[in-house]
Structure 1
Amino acid sequence: MNVLILLATFFSMEGLTWLIHRYVMHGFLWVLHKDHHDHRHDGPLEKNDYFFLIFALPAIVLMYAGSRAHFNYLFFIGAGVSLYGMAYFFVHDIFIHQRIRFLSRTQNPYLLAIRRAHKQHHKHTGREDGECYGFLWVPVKYFRMYFQKKAA
């Protein structure tokens, strides 16, 4: 049952991430997310990187509370959020934005679709008129674009 809670949390994070990205990061917390779009920041970190802490704290609290209660469901919800955060860091920061050079020449259609959708998101430098707010699941047109190339 605990594995199901963890997996359900991980997969439900995609929808929550879309909502947070669209209405919080491109909304009232645009002040933190803006430098991620306009690339105006000093040093290797952006204000946008504070979202790591904003999202990690609830997961830590859930895992701590769940561990104090004999590893109940709260722990596994926090673990699912944490696993999603790790996936996000790996795909977004390392793979897409190449903060660490890794898989830069991949031909994997799924990874190329994610990269392309994110590029479409970043073509909008303002907080309005954006697209592709998701993360692991992107609009089908990007999958078709690369899966059709692979099949040809």
Structure 2
Amino acid sequence: MDWFIYIAVFLLTFCVMEFMAWFSHKYIMHGFLWYLHADHHKKDHDSWFERNDAFFIFYAVISIGFFLLWQYDILKIGLSIGLGIFAYGLAYFMVHDIFIHQRFKMFRNANGRYARGVRRAHKMHHKHIGKEDGECFGMLWVPMKYLKDKK
């Protein structure tokens, strides 16, 4: 029955990461670390990489930390937490960097209700190029108003 706990912790971690993404995006990226996130809203360089990509490294280090806690028998659920963070990061990368911003030219023809809603919500977020007045700071959870098809 231990497997049930590990799966539940993995799923809970994945879900909590949406809140963490929203919180860190709203209060950290659009707050005191705006200088790292600003080039994502208004590109000021010719590089494919953005300073904003540094946030990926932060969450990767936390995920690796949980893997190590598990590996060294310090935290039995460390693997589940580390994998939950990793899975969320992968989903975030697929949706945000690949699907929405097309950093790799894939999923261009995705046009389901959820896909349109995610695009709309993110477009509303990028409507503001400054750090104030933002909206839609989450990624995978989309407010219902963006999921409704426009008539």
TM-score by length of 1: 0.92
Q: Which residue of 1 aligns with 2:46?
A: 42
Identical-pair percentage: 47
Deviation at 1:6, TM superposition (A): 0.3
In the alignment, which of 27, 32, 38 is matched to residue 28 of structure 1? 32
CA RMSD of aligned residues (A): 1.4
Determine the C-alpha separation between the residues in 2 that align with 1:4 and 1:145.
Answer: 34
Determine the C-alpha separation between the residues in 1 that align with 2:45 and 2:56.
Answer: 17
Q: Which residue of 1 aligns with 2:124?
A: 120
Determine the C-alpha separation between the residues in 1 that align with 2:14 and 2:91.
Answer: 10
Determine the C-alpha separation between the residues in 2 that align with 1:68 and 1:57.
Answer: 16
AA of the residue aligned to 2:22:
W
Tell me, which stretches of 5 or more residues in structure 2 are unaligned? Answer: none
1:1-152 matched pairs, under 5 angstroms: 1-69=5-73, 72-145=76-149
TM-score by length of 2: 0.92
AA of the residue aligned to 1:55:
Y
| Deviation by residue 1:61-99 (Cα, 9 ceiling, x = unmatched) | 111111221871122111100100010111110000001
Determine the C-alpha separation between the residues in 2 that align with 1:41 and 1:48.
Answer: 12
Q: Which runs of 4+ in 1 moved over 3 A?
A: none
Tell me, which stretches of 5 or more residues in structure 1 are unaligned? Answer: none
Larger helix percent: 1
Task: Count matched residues.
Answer: 147
